[in-house]
Amino acid sequence: MISYKDLGLVNTREMFKKAIEGGYAIPAFNFNNMEQMQAIISACVECSSPVILQVSSGARKYANQTLLRYMAQGAVEYAKELGKNIPIVLHLDHGNSFELCKSCIDMGFSSVMIDGSHLPYDENVALTKQVVDYAHQFDVTVEGELGVLAGVEDEVSAEVAHYTRPEEVVDFVSKTGVDSLAISIGTSHGANKFKPEQCTRNADGILVPPPLRFDILEEIEKQIPGFPIVLHGSSSVPQEYVKIINTHGGALKDAVGIPEEELRKAAKSAVCKINIDSDGRLAMTAMVRKVFVDNPAEFDPRKYLGPARDELKKLYMHKCENVLGSAGTVE
Ligand code: G3H
Ligand code: 13P
Ligand code: ZN
């Protein structure tokens, strides 16, 4: 049993309290490899933002859970070396069983998500409570989820979305004891968040997605005032990356995300954690494709992963500074 406290990590409790009071959201960036981790930490140190390093079960399978955990421990030291001891959370994204959450808690994660959102309500309550009861013994914080997001990723998929029902949140939060709640108000996982028929088109022919359901968010906030809310599926799918990818041999069709203004608005409310994975994937892919097309003789991985890492850092700083508002919140 390894405690995250011995690794220099923190749980989400204090972070979320400050974020709600300050009207900003903490970035939760997924990572699977060293370049992503370097970009996340150097960006958040440079703009003085707290950060949640997020590991999905797919990431665990891809990279090995022990390596990822040591990378998070290394991230704490790396941040100090770069000059700022920013608060860092190591979080399990979309945990789907008690056993997986327990295994992460036992090896040093400071926060876990138990995603029972696909289960019947009572089963979601029972599973979430089981994880909370275990996690709280070690001061590990737990994120639960009510409502189902659309979108398809390796380990997360749902054909049909349904919004969170505000009338369920008080019961869910009080029965489970969760520390934060992920909700469904129209965000969606992946780079193709909406079907073209759900969108309109602007003058340039770019798809404009349907607006988020801020009315549902407001109703939830009324039911559980000041309770930390989480938004998944919050990539904005920057069209400049889509363009670079598609003009350098890629084939992304109708890729569309959540407009940044909507996320800015959400971050000012009780939404205090915003999950971003796909935008990082797009930034890396765009830069790697560009190097391969511009310099076909290049074969040193540092020459294409390096530019990808630089672009990722820029993207993450932009998110903290201009979208989530978390920049400058660490003394
Ligand atoms: O919400 C899902 C995350 O983007 C993780 O995706 O399961 O493909 O690692 P993944
Ligand atoms: P995106 O696919 O929009 O980046 O969402 C990531 C996410 O919700 C991770 O849990
Ligand atoms: Zn998610």
Task: Give the largest Cα separation in the chain, rounded.
Answer: 60
Tokens standing for residue 27? 């970035």
Answer yes or no: pTM beyond 0.95.
yes
At 134, is the secondary structure helix, strand, or coil?
Answer: helix
Rounded distance between C-alpha atoms, residue 130 and residue 258, angstroms: 33
258 CA: nearest ligand 2 atom: 3
Tell me which residues have their CB closer than 6 angstroms to ligand 1: 30, 56, 58-59, 93-94, 153-156, 189, 232, 277
> pLDDT > 90: what percent of the chain?
92
- pLDDT for residue 156: 55
Q: Which residues are catalytic?
A: 93
Note whether 181 and 168 are within 8 A (CB).
Answer: no
244 CA distance to ligand 3 middle (Å):
25
- pLDDT for residue 159: 59
CA 185, 186, 190, 192: dihedral to nearest 10 degrees?
180
Q: Which residue has the higher pLDDT, 204 or 209?
A: 209
Report whether pLDDT(150) > 80: no
300 CA distance to ligand 3 middle (Å):
33
Rounded distance between C-alpha atoms, residue 274 and residue 230, angstroms: 6
Q: Tell me: the pLDDT tens digits for 239-252?
A: 999 999 999 999 99
What are the distances in angstroms from CA 125 to CA 11, 108, 146, 171, 177?
22, 25, 10, 9, 10
Q: For 190-258, where are the E strands, in sequence order?
A: 200-201, 207-208, 229-231
CA angle 101, 16, 232 (to 5 degrees): 60
The amino acid sitting at 163 is Y
Lowest-confidence region among 149-153, 169-173, 219-223, 275-279: 149-153
Residue 206 — pLDDT band, cuts 50, 70, 90? Answer: confident
What mean pLDDT is predicted for residues 307-321?
A: 98
Tokens standing for residue 226? 């000041």
| Burial group, residue 70, by CB count within 10 angstroms (0-12, 13-18, 19+) | middle
The amino acid sitting at 249 is G
Q: Tell me: the pLDDT tens digits for 74-105?
A: 999 999 999 999 999 999 999 999 999 999 99
Per DSSP, the chain holds a count of helices (H) and strands (E) of 12, 12
What mean pLDDT is predicted for residues 208-221?
A: 96
Rounded distance between C-alpha atoms, residue 125 and residue 146, angstroms: 10
Q: Which residue has the higher pLDDT, 160 or 223?
A: 223
Q: Which residue has the higher pLDDT, 146 or 197?
A: 146
Cβ-based neighbours of 48, under 8 Å, separated by 6 or more = 84, 86, 327, 328, 329, 330, 331
Report whether pLDDT(158) > 70: no
- pLDDT for residue 327: 98
Note whether 267 and 323 are within 8 A (CB).
Answer: yes
Report whether pLDDT(178) > 60: yes
294 CA distance to ligand 2 middle (Å):
30
Q: Tell me: the pLDDT tens digits for 18-63?
A: 999 999 999 999 999 999 999 999 999 999 999 999 999 999 999 9
Q: Quick one: DSSP state of residue 189?
A: S
